[in-house]
Amino acid sequence: MRVLIPTALLLATPLAFAAPADLAQSRIGFAMKQLGTPVDGGFKSFSANVELNPAKPEVGKADITIQTGSISLPTRDAEAEAKKKEWFNAGQFPTARFVSSSIKSAGPNRYQVTGKLTLKGITRDVSAPFTLKQQGALNVVEGVMPVSRLAFKIGEGDWTDTGTVADEVQIKFHVAFPATTK
C-alpha cells in the first residue's frame, strides 16, 4: 500500500530591505484532508524577512523561503514520500518562496497580503488575510493562506485524485519580526 501524504506549500528568501524573522518564535505549517481526515504538518527550516509598519502597511514587504525537504509530517514514511518527485520533488526544487507585492489594511490589526508563491518551479498569485500583534519588541503576523496543491503539481499521477488527498491546502503562518516605526 502506498503511503498517503499531506501536502503543504509556502514562502521565503531574505531581502535586503527587511528585518529577518525571529525563527525561534515563528512557524510555517499546513492543514489538509486525506481521505476526509484532517492532517497537519509543517516545515522545520525556513527564512523570512518582513517589514510592516501598522501606520503605513502599503509600504510593507515580506519575503519567505522554505526548505521543502524540511517537511514535518506525522510519520517518517510520509515525510520521505513528500520529498519524492510526485510531491515536492525536493531534490530538484529544494525551496518554495513567497514574495509580497502588496499589503493593505483590512481594519484594526487586520491586513491582506498579496504576492507570488513559487513551488515546484511554478509561480502563482496568492492572497491571504492576516492579523498583526505587537509582543514586546516583536511584531507577530498570523494568518492562513488557502492554496490549490494541484495548481503547483503537488501530488502528481495517481495522487491527483482529490478523493484521496483534497486539493485545498491551508498554509498557516506565524512570523515574528522586529517591530519598526519607519
125-140 per-position pLDDT tens digit: 999 999 999 999 999 9
pTM: 0.86
Residue type, 175: V
71 within domain boundaries: yes
User: What is the reported pLDDT for 7?
Assistant: 34
Report if residue 121 sits inside a domain: yes
Asked if residue 164 is part of any domain, the answer here is yes
Cell numbers representing residue 58 in the block: 502599503
pLDDT at 18 over 70: no
Q: What is the mean pLDDT of residues 16-40?
A: 87
Q: Within a 10 A sphere around the Cβ of 142, how many other Cβ atoms? A: 14
Is the model's pLDDT at 31 over the cut of 50? yes
Q: Are 68 and 88 in contact (CB under 8 A)?
A: yes
Number of structural domains the chain divides into: 1
Q: Has residue 182 got a pLDDT over 70?
A: no
CATH of residue 41: 2.40.128.110
d(CA 8, CA 26): 17
Domain limits at 153? 19-178
